[in-house]
Structure 1
Amino acid sequence: MRRPFIGIDFDPLDTDAAAAWLARITPATPFSYVVTPNVDHLVRLEALGERAPLGRELWQAYRGAALTLCDSRVLARLARFYGIALPLAPGSDLTVRLFDEVAQPGDRIAIIGGDAALLAALRARFPALDLVQHVPPMGMLRDPTALAAATAFGRDSGARFLLLAVGSPQQEVLAARIAADGGAHGCALCIGASLDFITGRQRRAPLAVQKLGLEWAHRLASQPGRLWRRYLVDGPRIFRLAHRWHRGQRR
């Protein structure tokens, strides 16, 4: 049974359970998709609201996901403070498990995002997999032609797994567009920068730092110019959102 927290209904699955769920997907399975909300995602959802077209479409995308997994230790601990147990299933960990355990030789894995060098690195590391890629332009959500092309690629890819690596909110909107288009099969995962970690283009925080819930601080130190506002200005709003949500539940 899903567990609601700050407007999102989370599936109570950890990484092991989510990997087992993915293992049941076949290339003929009717299309579904997985989202992994974190603090940044929930703050964005609240800021956009549901009145503007993008906000409305993004909320619908999260609600339409087959699996909604908690990606953030900070979010999981905040939920626990309010008496809600959200098992942790970080998208980066789940992507590693997909490549190392779930995917079988000959499986087609389609990627939307990244670049040619990323695809080459993945093919070198996983030569038994059939890896294909579509690279959309920057600002895809503002380009109807580019969004339609990415949707068509995902729909027609014939992949067991479709990895959407174009960042939030683009990847969630794209997943919902593919689902609404009809005719797709397999499962899409909204994975952000997970492939950069697998190929070594970016380094994740040491495991001890992750367990302390400070992976955000490691990322901030690695890319302060790009991430300072996300983590130091926008991110703390999650505490106010959680408190307001909890008050609403008590009423």
Structure 2
Amino acid sequence: MTAPNIANFLGLRFDGGSTETAIDDILGAIKQPFRYVVTPNVQHVVEIYEQGDSLKAKYTSAWRIYCDSRVLRKLARLSGSKLDVVTGSDLTARLLERASALGLKVGIIGPSADDCAIVGRRFPGLEIASYTPPMGFIKSDVEVQKCIAFILGANADITFLAVGSPQQEILAHRLLEYPEARGVALCIGASIDFLTGKQQRAPLWIQNSGLEWLHRLLSDPKRLAKRYLVKCPKIFGLVVAQMMNPRFRS
């Protein structure tokens, strides 16, 4: 299974394709040794450059890297790269739908039992195993090991890691250390919140225009102002640096 249209941008490999081809790839790998999927957006790319090689390795070790941001796609065009967009939220919703139709077992790490019950009612064909680690779990090796033990014990076909970035990518990377691990994990951020109604996605026309970030900012300005008005604009400096120096891509 090889993703088409692989592109490189800002030092990351991005796999091409559509949401449906991504799902086909994932479903075709669920009986294979463990692998994971990441969906970086503008914030994630900035974080990678600020934190350096340690965080970058958590992304580059992923089996599939899909672009989650239409803004990132537009910026990539400026430097001659073509990125296909496969958003984590769309991928999660459609994959759960397909998995439900197939009667697959899924693991969900992060959301509460009540939220997972809502997912179960929405997708009744699923067998769901869920675990909610405490806040800040990633700083405690004991708590990380509890997550790993749960995931290994659940032996799910697909595992959704919804504990925020970079916690979910760190956890996924740790799972590569265990040869008994199987199936596919997806690092999905807040995607479950959109399915349960805790958060609302922007209307489709806003998503397609690349302004979903603005919709999210206006919906929760106190929490998201620093992310979208301070952190994310740093991407422009990274893009300019790449355009001025091709070796910046390495």
TM band (smaller chain): over 0.9
CA deviations on 1:179-234 (whole Å, 9 max, x unpaired) are: 12221111000001111111222110000110110000010011111100000011
Name structure 2 gaps, 5 residues minimum: none
The one-letter code matched in structure 1 to 2:180 is G
Q: Is the 8 A contact 1:152 1:178 kept in 2?
A: no
Specify which of 157, 169, 172 is matched with residue 169 of structure 2.
Answer: 172
Shift of the 102–122 alpha-carbon distance from structure 1 to 2, 3 Å rule, reads closer
After TM superposition, list the pairs within 5 Å mapping 1:1-251 onto structure 2. Answer: 2-26=6-30, 28-50=31-53, 56=54, 58-249=55-246
Q: What SS class does the counterpart of residue 127 from structure 1 fall into?
A: coil
What CA distance in whole angstroms lies between the structure 2 residues aligned with 1:48 and 1:187? 26
| Structure 1 unaligned blocks of 5 or more | 51-55
How far 1:241 sits from its partner (Å)?
Answer: 0.6
Matched residue SS, 1:132: strand
Question: Is the 1:31–1:187 Cα contact (8 Å) retained in structure 2?
Answer: yes
Do the aligned partners of residues 104 and 184 (structure 1) sit closer, same or farther apart at CA in structure 2, a change above 3 Å counting? farther
Distance across 1 between alignment mates of 2:103 and 2:27: 15
Residue identity (%): 44
Instruction: Give the conservation status (yes or no) of the 8 Å contact 1:32–1:188.
Output: yes
Structure 1 outlier segments of 4+, above 4 Å: none
Compute the displacement of 1:105 (Å).
4.0
TM-score between the two structures when normalised by the length of structure 2: 0.93
Distance 2:184 2:27 in 1: 11
Secondary structure of the residue aligned to 1:162 is: strand
Give the deviation of 1:250 after TM superposition. 6.1
Structure-2 change in CA distance of 1:64 and 1:103 (3 Å)? farther
Question: What code does the residue aligned with 2:225 have?
Answer: W
CA shift in 2, pair 1:120/1:103, >3 Å: closer
Distance 2:18 2:73 in 1: 11
**Equivalent in the alignment of 1:53:** none
| CA shift digits 1:85-112 (9 cap, x unpaired) | 0001000000111012244443110011
Structure 2 SS opposite 1:85: coil
Aligned positions, number: 244
Q: What value does the CA root-mean-square deviation take over the aligned residues?
A: 1.4
